[in-house]
């Protein structure tokens, strides 16, 4: 490995690893840390740091005791389309696992977001989002029970919530969405088969109908190593 002044060793190792990855296919194992340390004349800790960066970026993933080339990230458009529509458009098979389904009273923040009175009944639906059976996100949705409670009680949590809402005649017209980088709680990390050290993307969304009435408040947590978001900007 050629020495370059002022460039950390782990970064030089990472650059060499990227060349190795370019020659491999999805699912192929990369060389073991010990082998890479000898090849690049560095410590195993330096190799480990370089591999960790590639893990965070989703270029590689742990499988058993080894590390393999990861499949490409799911690219999800930022739009009023559902998760199902976005995944299918990428050629992926969407799925969901139910975590929580409950009716509760709106606290102050939720009441304000949904335009409800404090304590008004809301439906809370929490699901793990899957792409090709891989856990990539955790979605927590609150719906006004007076408006959508009957639909929610009949709803199959393994299917598209947006499709079910639209079938009631509700039309999604706009949404306000904020995206930020966070670390998962131990519970969230466990639900996503990840760790509390892996950066996550948290999306906060409030969707409105054509009359400007709130339909939902959603908090979605996505694995930063398995998903990216795409949007089109216009003047």
Q: How does residue 2 score in pLDDT terms, banded at 50, 70 and 90? A: low
Q: Of all helices (H) and strands (E), which one includes residue 162? A: helix 161-167
pLDDT at 122: 97
- Decide which of 1 and 30 is more confident: 30
Residue 1 pLDDT: 55
Instruction: Report pLDDT for 230.
Output: 84
> 92-151 pLDDT, tens per residue?
888 999 999 999 999 999 999 999 999 999 999 999 999 999 999 999 999 999 999 999
Contact 212, 235 (CB under 8 A): no
* Over residues 160-179, mean pLDDT: 94
The ranges assigned to domains in the chain are 9-69, 74-230
Domain 74-230 has CATH 3.40.250.10: no
Q: What is the pLDDT of residue 47?
A: 92
pLDDT at 183 over 90: yes
Structure-token pair, residue 48: 């480990």
- Kindly report the average pLDDT of the chain as a whole number: 90
CA distance 168 to 41: 64
Amino acid 73: pLDDT: 84
pLDDT-wise least confident of 17-31, 75-89, 114-128, 140-154 = 75-89
- Residue 70 is classified by DSSP as P
Residues 188-218 pLDDT 10s = 999 999 999 889 999 999 999 999 999 999 9
Predicted TM-score (pTM) of this structure: 0.80
- Helix H or strand E segment including 48: helix 44-56
Asked if residue 196 lies in contact with residue 176, where contact means CB atoms within 8 angstroms, the answer is no
pLDDT at 3 over 70: no
Residue pLDDT, tens place only, 29-74:
999 999 999 999 999 999 998 998 898 888 898 888 889 998 888 8
**CA within 13 Å, CB half, 119:** 0
Which fold would CATH assign to domain 9-69?
Arc Repressor Mutant, subunit A (1.10.10)
E strands, the chain, are: 60-63, 66-69, 74-77, 94-105, 121-131, 134-144, 172-183, 199-209, 214-223, 227-230
């Amino acid at each position: 490995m050629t020495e370059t002044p002022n460039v950390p060793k782990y970064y030089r190792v990472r650059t060499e690893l990227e060349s190795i990855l370019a020659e491999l296919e999805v699912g192929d194992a990369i060389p073991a840390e010990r082998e890479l340390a000898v090849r690049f004349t560095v410590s195993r800790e330096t190799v480990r740091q370089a591999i960790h960066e590639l893990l965070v970026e989703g270029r590689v993933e742990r499988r058993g005791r080894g590390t393999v080339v990861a499949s490409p990230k799911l690219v999800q458009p930022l739009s009023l389309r559902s998760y199902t529509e976005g995944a299918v458009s990428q050629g992926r098979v969407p799925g969901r696992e139910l975590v929580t389904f409950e009716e509760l009273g709106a606290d102050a923040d939720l009441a304000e977001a949904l335009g409800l009175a404090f304590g008004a009944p809301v439906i809370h639906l929490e699901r793990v989002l899957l792409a090709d059976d891989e856990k990539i996100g955790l979605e927590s949705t609150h719906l006004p029970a007076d408006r959508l409670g009957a639909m929610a009680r009949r709803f199959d949590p393994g299917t598209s919530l947006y499709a079910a809402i639209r079938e009631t005649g509700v039309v999604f017209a706009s949404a306000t969405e904020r995206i930020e980088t966070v670390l998962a709680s131990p519970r969230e990390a466990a639900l996503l088969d990840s760790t509390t050290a892996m950066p996550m993307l948290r999306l906060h969304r409030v969707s409105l109908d054509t009359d400007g009435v709130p339909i939902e408040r959603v908090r979605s947590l996505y694995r930063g190593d398995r998903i990216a978001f795409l949007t089109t900007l216009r003047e």
